[in-house]
Amino acid sequence: MALYENLPVYKAAYDLLIESFKMCRNLERDFRYTIGESLKQNIMDIMVDIYRANSCTDKTSLLAGARERLVIVRLQLRLLRDLKQISIKTFALQSERQESLSKQLAAWHKSCRNQ
């Protein structure tokens, strides 16, 4: 079992979290403390799920939960874009990061189901 910090999926989630913290600094106050905080918490929950999945034998339920949270993150980012709280460039960067994370979680989940 690899250390969770060395997993590419963990690094992708961490990068998404770091960029979200930077992005939320520029949100209007109303959105910073509602959608912004929820967004960061959901990404942190994904990271906790990755850690737990790496250290247990039944990974499928944890990975399914992480993938579900990622759908919520995707919705929150879209909402911030539609409310003109983030630029198209920031939205595109975050979308690329979440897409990478989504692909890695899906591949890991599929691998665990096939075992």
Domain ranges of the chain: 4-114
Helix, strand, coil percentages, rounded to 5, for the chain: 85, 0, 15
| CA–CA gap between residue 101 and residue 77 (Å, rounded) | 15
Cα 4 to Cα 23, 51, 72, 84: the distances in Å are 25, 6, 23, 35
Q: What is the CATH number of domain 4-114?
A: 1.20.1440.60
Query: Could you tell me the two tokens for 88?
Result: 């198209």
Mean pLDDT, contiguous 10-residue spans, the chain (115 residues) = 78 96 96 97 97 92 97 98 97 97 96 89
User: With a threshold of 0.85, does the pTM exceed it?
Assistant: yes
Q: Output the six-digit token pair for 19.
A: 């960029």
**Distance separating the N- and C-terminal Cα atoms of the chain:** 16
- The pLDDT value recorded for residue 115 is 81
Task: Give me the pLDDT at residue 2, please.
Answer: 59
